Amino acid sequence: MVCLGETMAALAPAPPDSLDGADSLRLSVAGAESNVAMYLADLGVSVSWLSAVGDDALGRRVRTAVARAGVDVSGVRTDPARPTGLLLKDPGAAGTRVHYYRAGSAASALAPDVLDDERLGGAALLHLTGVTPALSPTCRALVEHALHTPPARRTHAVSFDVNHRPALWPPGTAPRVLRDLADRADIVFVGLDEAQDLWGAGLTGADVRGLLSGPRVLVVKDGGRSATAFTEREVCDVPALATEVVEPVGAGDAFAAGFLAGLLRGTDLTRALRLGHITAASALKVVGDHGPLPGQDTVAAMLALTGPDWCRARMP
């Protein structure tokens, strides 16, 4: 697999401190697509991450952190003229707010030529998110080009996580653009809450499928309750696992990685959704975006649970 998109350096206080009251901040890395790549590597999938970073300490930190997780980063470009992006996480009682400092970043200058990378030639799947087209006109052109070829003529499948970030979009532009891009992908992930924010407050999962009829597989995630996969032949719903939540940021990326890994293994939709929930729960249990997975034996046992036992299960 190949994951393509921006990763930034991230600063965050340790819970329960907020940004304005913390005495120190922890430095990590954060990026939707590299999060997916790192979890895919954890799950035994051969994966590359394509992006660009600045020729600076933060860029080197980002590249090293993603590579340490077992991801091929040899296709990541170093831009001598633009910096690596930065974000600040601000935890609070109402949730975690994220402040971005990414305008003019190295990754915002990515363009369709990145799709000429040799790693895509042998890939089974390219993973993109709705963050990338919001970064710049050239980034939007990149995603549009990746989705331009009709699905029947693609040499690899394309998955697309809607991943709506309102602060990155000019008012009123995101709903149309993200719906158009998502409807041209093979596999799509969207949260029910973000679909409601984008396309209508009263939407159900079935309504979202009506709006996005193009993808072969559409996964609608309903927060900590369940996730539903829609295909041409079936609808499969799997409840989420009960788990301790330290911070929710990164759980959606982890879910996507687990589900995609399940599909690549040729498993059925139920087990793919379960693997998505298991991987997402690993992200929920840590402050950063990338948490440790349970052991392989534990994962295999959880995937094999009966339906009622799964509904009673807790993340170890």
Q: Please state whether the peptide bond connecting residue 16 to the residue before it is cis, i.e. omega within 30 degrees of 0.
A: yes
d(CA 255, CA 80) in angstroms, rounded, equals 34
d(CA 132, CA 236) in angstroms, rounded, equals 29
| Residue 35, both tokens | 């999060």
Q: Are 255 and 216 in contact (CB under 8 A)?
A: no
Q: Which pairs with CB-CB distance under 8 Å and at least 24 residues apart come from 141-149? A: 141/111, 141/112, 142/4, 142/110, 142/111, 142/112, 142/114, 142/115, 143/181, 144/181, 145/112, 145/115, 146/4, 146/112, 146/115, 147/181, 147/184, 147/185, 148/184
Residue of 90, 253, 289, 297 marked catalytic: 253
d(CA 182, CA 173) in angstroms, rounded, equals 14
Alpha helices in 147-245 (DSSP H): 174-183, 192-199, 205-211
Q: Are 235 and 271 in contact (CB under 8 A)?
A: no
Q: Are 29 and 66 in contact (CB under 8 A)?
A: yes
Specify whether 253 is catalytic: yes
d(CA 143, CA 229) in angstroms, rounded, equals 23
For residue 255, the number of C-alpha atoms closer than 13 Å in the C-beta half-sphere is 32
| 91: CB partners within 8 A, 6+ apart | 12, 13, 15, 16, 17, 18, 19, 247
Return the active site residues: 253
